[in-house]
Structure 1
Amino acid sequence: MKMITRVKEAFGNLDDHSPETLKKTLIELGVTLDELAPYLEDPEGRPYYRQMIYEDDHVEMIVMNWADIECAPHDHGQSTGWIQVMNGTTKQTVYQAHGEALPFPLFTEFKENGSLFFAPEKGIHKMGREGATPLVTLHVYSPPIRGMRVYDLETCAACVVSSDCGAWWPEEQRQRLKEIKLQK
């Protein structure tokens, strides 16, 4: 059965969208790097290229292939999810922030090919490719990401971005839903 058919059947028939169910479903799907290859394109100067694989009112699945640029620190709005490393190694830095304060790094870790890790609601992190091996990650979130905050630590600002923007400061004004000046 084709991957897209498996994904639609698996996520489209879920009654429970808890983190545990999302993880179990993602693992059972057994998506391979070869199946994702048609969705991978050049990031063209951005940290990654992202392609939506599946989206409904409750779940979204996105594949990302990474350049050698880290994304900006960001959260996933009201969503929780799972990130699966499909190829390569990612360097992830996890941050903490209180209210409208500037986020500060808590720790940095490396996740290798085959790793699966949790993205909590309002959790702030940044990711990037570690080493020369191409990095491909598969992301599943519930509900679909809306209200993602992207942080610019140098200017002490945050921006709530539109759903078609990635984890970088938006170049287009229409993607900037709300700008926030942060406190040091």
Structure 2
Amino acid sequence: MDMNKKLEKVLGPLKNPAKAELKDALAKMGITLEELDPLIRPAGDKPYYRKLIFKNNEVELLVMNWSELDCAPHDHGSSHGWIQVINGVSVNTVYEVDGNGLPKERFSEQHAEGTKFYAPKKGIHKMQRAEGNSLVTLHLYSPPITGMKVFDLEKCAACVVSDECGAWWPDEDNQKMKEIKLGIHPL
């Protein structure tokens, strides 16, 4: 079965899928690096190159090929989903928001090839590839991400980015939907 038919068969019937349904769908698709290889491009000067593979009103599936840069801390708007490491090792750093509205690092963990990890609604994290490693990840979110908030901890600012912007501070004004000044970290 070709990949597009497989995606439609597994993802098409989903309606407001819960956490377990999304994880199960990711497993049922069984997508391999060989299937994704024709879709992967170099990341250039960004943390990752992303390619939308499937999208309807309920879910979206993306593949990401990571550079040596880490992405900015970010949330996924009102979406939740699963990230699967297809190739390499991912370093995922999880944050919590302090009293000033700034994300504060809680912990980092590595996820090896084949691992799936959950991204909850309004959860803030950043990702990067482990040193000396290539990294390809698959991301399944519901609903499709809109209203993603990216944080710049040095500027004490956040930005709601357009749907075509990734998890980095936008280069172009049309990618900035709303800029938000945050409090100062207490000494």
TM-score (norm 2): 0.96
Question: What is the rounded CA distance, in whole Å, between the counterparts of 2:64 and 2:40 in structure 1?
Answer: 7
Query: In the alignment, is residue 6 of structure 1 matched against residue 9 of structure 2?
Result: no
Aligned to 2:157: 157
In the TM superposition, residue 111 of structure 1 has moved relative to its aligned partner by: 0.6
CA distance in 2, matches of 1:155, 1:103: 12
For residue 116 of structure 2, what is the aligned residue in structure 1? 116
Runs of 4+ in 1 over 2 A off after TM superposition: none
Post-superposition offset of 1:45: 0.7
Q: Equivalent residue for 2:79? A: 79
Correspondence list, 1:62-73, <5 A: 62-73=62-73
- Tell me which residue corresponds to 1:89: 89
Provide the C-alpha distance between the structure 2 equivalents of 1:24 and 1:52, rounded to a whole number of angstroms: 20
Matching residue's letter, 2:88: G
Secondary structure of the 1:68 match is coil
For these two proteins, the number of residue pairs brought into alignment is: 184
Cα pair distance change 1:120/1:51, threshold 3 Å: same
Tell me the amino acid that sits aligned with residue 116 of structure 1. K
Contact 2:74 2:126 in 1 (8 A): yes
Tell me by how many angstroms 1:133 deviates.
2.3
Query: CA separation of 1:155/1:31 partners in 2, compared to 1, >3 Å: closer, same or farther?
Result: same
* Contact 2:78–2:146 (8 Å) recurs in 1: yes
Q: What is the match of residue 125 of structure 2? A: 125
| Cα distance in structure 2, aligned partners of 1:45 and 1:88 | 20
Partner deviation per Cα, 1:70-116 (whole Å, 9 max, x = no partner): 00000000000000000000111100015761110000111111110
Matched residues, percent identical? 51
What is the alpha-carbon distance in structure 1 between the residues aligned to residue 122 and residue 100 of structure 2?
Answer: 13
The residue type paired with residue 127 of structure 1 is: M
Aligned to 2:41: 41
Amino acid at match of 2:9: E
Q: State which drifts further: 1-10 or 144-153.
A: 1-10
Q: Mind listing any 5+ residue stretches in structure 1 that lack a counterpart?
A: none
Q: What SS does the corresponding residue of 1:106 show, helix, strand or coil? A: strand
| Greater mean deviation of Cα atoms: 131-140 or 75-84 | 131-140
Q: CA deviation at 1:181?
A: 0.2
Distance 1:100 1:163, change over 3 A: farther
Q: CA RMSD in A?
A: 1.1
Q: Which runs of 5+ in 2 are unaligned?
A: none
1:26 is paired with a residue of what secondary structure? helix
Cα distance in 1, alignment partners of residues 44 and 33 from structure 2: 21
* 1:53 partner amino acid: I
